[in-house]
């Protein structure tokens, strides 16, 4: 879907009727350069879709403020709907919590990030949270019979997806003090749990955490590791995640994955 932007109002105008609802996840791309600060690899969420059939704004998270567009970019821009899994949504919820709380610690996704050096971060303390899909053996979770029935798209299977959460911390004011590092990690882990709980309460299970026992760079900080299992679904048709939406007596009921009750 081709679009242009108005950097003054932050409105995106599509070439034809977009037919989108608030909360629909979207990906954007450009033949040359996207309007700043949009990024091609990120998922955004539609908002203010009722403005008109061809206008909307983008939000960084499902229920956050509209993004302030600072230029119009260059070339032809396009957007498309995309799928957000329950695990992806859980990560974005923690990301939003970190933003709302003004936390400066690094939050990253993926196995490659494990080897990155983030301990040079300025400030009185350093910390990093990694979400790595799968457990330490690479197992991605387990399938189970469908739990939600009578919905469309129809659930083929329940996918209880697993990710490993690695929380590392270091207090540079006391580089040889393991208890100081412990305090940083303990506080950061609590923030992660708060973010999980605010995002998808009742749909995830957090394992007992464990300390990494080997010294990291000669006791350079310490690390806490836990696994999270989140309830997801495999569907027989493409659907999009739209978040928790209040139900109006005059509106269509919207569920966690954007589904509707089967007639």
- Looking at residue 251, the DSSP 8-state letter turns out to be S
pLDDT at site 214:
66
Mean of per-residue pLDDT scores for the chain: 81
Residue 12: strand pairing partners: 5, 56
User: Is the confidence at residue 194, as pLDDT, over 90?
Assistant: yes
Give the pair of three-digit tokens for residue 177.
């003090």
pTM beyond 0.85, yes or no:
no
Question: E strands along 119-189, which residues?
Answer: 126-133, 141-144, 151-152, 155-170
pLDDT in tens, 79-89: 988 888 889 98
Of 173, 228, 157, nearest to 199 (Cα)?
A: 228
pLDDT band for position 172 (cuts 50, 70, 90): confident
Least confident of 51-55, 181-185, 230-234: 230-234
**Distances, alpha carbon 176 to alpha carbons 48, 49, 93, in Å:** 52, 54, 34
pLDDT at site 244:
34
Question: Once rounded to an integer, what is the mean pLDDT over residues 229-237?
Answer: 81
pLDDT in tens, 130-147: 999 999 898 999 988 887
Give percent above pLDDT 90 in the chain. Answer: 42
User: Is the confidence at residue 243, as pLDDT, over 80?
Assistant: no
pLDDT at site 258:
45
User: Is the confidence at residue 222, as pLDDT, over 90?
Assistant: no
pLDDT at site 259:
45
Q: Which residue has the tokens 């129809």?
A: 154
Q: Same CATH topology for 2-81 and 86-235?
A: no
CA-to-CA distance for 154 and 227, rounded, in angstroms?
Answer: 28
pLDDT in tens, 92-138: 999 999 999 998 888 999 887 776 655 545 444 578 899 999 998 98
Give the pair of three-digit tokens for residue 195.
């973010």
Domain definitions of the chain by residue range: 2-81, 86-235
- Domain range 86-235, CATH class: alpha beta
CATH (one of 3.60.15, 2.40.30, 2.60.40, 2.40.360) for 2-81: 2.40.30
CA-to-CA distance for 69 and 85, rounded, in angstroms?
Answer: 27
The four Cα atoms 7, 11, 16, 18 give a dihedral, to 10 degrees, of 140
């Amino acid at each position: 879907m081709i679009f242009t932007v108005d950097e003054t109002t932050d409105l995106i105008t599509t070439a034809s009727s977009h037919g989108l609802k608030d909360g629909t996840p979207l990906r954007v791309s450009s033949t040359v350069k996207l309007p700043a600060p949009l990024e091609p690899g990120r998922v955004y969420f539609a908002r203010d879709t009722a403005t008109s059939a061809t206008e909307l704004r983008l939000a960084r998270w499902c229920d956050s403020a509209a993004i302030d567009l600072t230029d119009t970019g260059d070339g032809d821009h396009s957007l498309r709907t995309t799928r957000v899994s329950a695990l992806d949504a859980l990560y974005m919820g923690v990301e939003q919590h970190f933003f709302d709380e003004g936390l400066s610690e690094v939050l990253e996704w993926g196995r490659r990030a494990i080897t990155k050096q983030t301990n040079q971060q300025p400030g009185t303390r350093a910390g990093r949270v990694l979400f790595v899909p799968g457990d330490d053996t690479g197992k991605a979770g387990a399938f189970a019979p469908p739990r939600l029935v009578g919905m469309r798209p129809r659930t083929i299977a329940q996918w209880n997806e697993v990710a490993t959460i690695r929380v590392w911390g270091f207090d540079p004011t006391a580089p040889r003090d393991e208890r100081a590092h412990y305090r940083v990690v303990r506080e950061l882990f609590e923030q992660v749990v708060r973010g999980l709980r605010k995002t998808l309460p009742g749909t995830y299970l957090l394992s007992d955490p464990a300390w990494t026992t080997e010294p990291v760079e000669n006791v350079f900080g310490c690390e806490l590791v836990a696994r999270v299992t989140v309830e997801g679904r495999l569907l027989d048709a493409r659907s999009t995640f739209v978040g928790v939406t209040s139900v109006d007596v005059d509106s269509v009921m919207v569920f966690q994955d954007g589904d509707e009750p089967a007639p």
